[in-house]
């Protein structure tokens, strides 16, 4: 099975811990899939800075194909993070070169090779989902905590596997899941906590 993470990537920077980590929903996903022995690729962009080098080195060490990870002049996207007990608190997002990312016709042709394509609300590929899916790929879409985002209802018909995050198990999130399922995905999953 071939799996591609498409779109958003960044470096989480914990200034108070003096640590930083390459991440993003799709990046985390393909790293884990690569560790399970699946063929994985990243279709995205990083800057020609230290953080871009860090992302490339991390993904290369995980055996992930980087043939469609572009390196352009500028800064790799970062998110300033804090820890509140064991909870990660997202701070300021500085998009850097992700701000102007878009798929090329070559990227879209490349994605025809993949059974699974993973993306999210920040991946800048929402308009391409119908084409990617028509070409035979299953779409995994991570909505994170943005179940209330007005775009969700327009995206779900083009998604096979929808993932959301929420604080607790209650009737509200069950209703969100039921409504999401009616719009087309084969599977709707919510992680709690």
Burial class (CB in 10 A: 0-12, 13-18, 19+), 17: exposed
* All structural domains of the chain: 2-144 (3.40.1190.30), 148-193 (no CATH)
Q: What is the pLDDT of residue 143?
A: 96
Q: What is the pLDDT of residue 1?
A: 93
Q: What is the pLDDT of residue 28?
A: 96
Dihedral sign for Cα 149, 168, 11, 16, please.
Answer: positive
Q: What is the pLDDT of residue 183?
A: 97
Q: What is the pLDDT of residue 41?
A: 98
What is the Cα 182 distance to its own chain's centre?
23
Q: What is the pLDDT of residue 172?
A: 94
Give the DSSP H or E segment for 143. Answer: strand 138-144
Burial class (CB in 10 A: 0-12, 13-18, 19+), 11: buried
Q: What is the pLDDT of residue 39?
A: 97
Distance CA 93, CA 11 (A): 10
Low-confidence ranges of the chain (pLDDT < 50): none
Contacts of 86 (CB under 8 A, 6+ apart): none
pTM score, whole prediction:
0.93
């Amino acid at each position: 099975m071939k799996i591609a993470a498409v779109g958003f990537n960044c470096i989480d920077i914990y200034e108070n811990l003096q640590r930083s980590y390459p991440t993003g929903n799709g990046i985390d996903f393909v790293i884990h899939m690569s560790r399970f022995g699946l063929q994985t690729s990243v279709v995205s962009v990083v800057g020609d800075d230290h953080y871009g080098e860090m992302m490339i080195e991390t993904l290369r060490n995980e055996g992930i194909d980087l043939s469609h990870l572009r390196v352009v002049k500028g800064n790799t996207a970062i998110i300033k993070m804090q820890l509140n007990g064991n909870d990660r608190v997202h701070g300021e997002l500085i998009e850097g070169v992700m701000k102007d990312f878009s798929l090329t016709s070559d990227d879209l042709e490349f994605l025809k090779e993949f059974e699974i394509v993973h993306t999210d609300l920040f991946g800048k590929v929402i308009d391409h989902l119908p084409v990617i899916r028509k070409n035979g790929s299953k779409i995994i879409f991570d909505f994170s905590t943005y179940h209330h985002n007005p775009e969700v209802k327009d995206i779900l018909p083009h998604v096979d596997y929808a993932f959301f995050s929420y604080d607790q198990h209650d009737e509200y999130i069950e209703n969100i899941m039921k409504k999401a399922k009616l719009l087309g995905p084969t599977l709707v999953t919510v992680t709690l906590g």
